[in-house]
Amino acid sequence: MHIVRSLHQRLQGYFDCYVESDLEFEMRHIARPERSVLGDDTTEMALKYLALVLLTAIDQRAEKLIIARWASRLLGGKECLLATPRNSIVDRAITIVKEITGADSDTPLRELALGLGNDRLTLDVEHRIVANEEEVLFGLGSLRN
């Protein structure tokens, strides 16, 4: 019997998997140009990327995380650009966030809940169009306390 897990469950699984990993190494691995080889599962790569950038933002005590085609970046705390994979992975990551949270142009502000150890994180999520490009912004300010 094949068990189908939701995108949210799969994201949580990667979140749990990568929590003790070398985040920078794993992110560089996903962002490598040669990862564009046919046969890579874009959805799985996007879920891994989302888990890694969220964990990196938490680890770096960022106030905000922006995921966009042209550059994903952390704001507040240690501000920096993050390794960004090919456009199809970023596009799929943005779509996954929209699907999980229900964010769209009519309801751009939503929340994403994830477990981290024995704690539960609730992140503010905003779907935006900036310079005709989609991006998602995660508010992590509440985690800095």
The tens digit of pLDDT for each residue in 50-78 reads: 999 999 999 999 999 999 988 899 998 77
Any bridge partners for residue 75, and if so which? 64
Q: What is the pLDDT of residues 19-36, one digit of tens each?
A: 999 999 998 888 876 655
Of 64-73, 75-84, 129-138, the least confident: 75-84
Top-ranked range on mean pLDDT: pick from 28-32, 38-42, 65-69, 79-83:
65-69
142: pLDDT strictly greater than 90: no
The arithmetic mean of pLDDT across residues 77-96, rounded, is 90
pLDDT for the residue 138: 95
Write the DSSP string, 80-127: EEE----HHHHHHHHHHHHHHH---SSS-EEEEEEEETTEEEEEEEEE
Structure tokens at 145: 């306390």
142 or 136, greater pLDDT: 136
Domain 7-144, second-level architecture: 2-Layer Sandwich (3.30)
8: nearest Cα among 40, 41, 54, 58: 54
Does the global pTM surpass 0.85?
Answer: yes
pLDDT for the residue 52: 96
* 38 band by pLDDT with thresholds 50, 70 and 90: very low
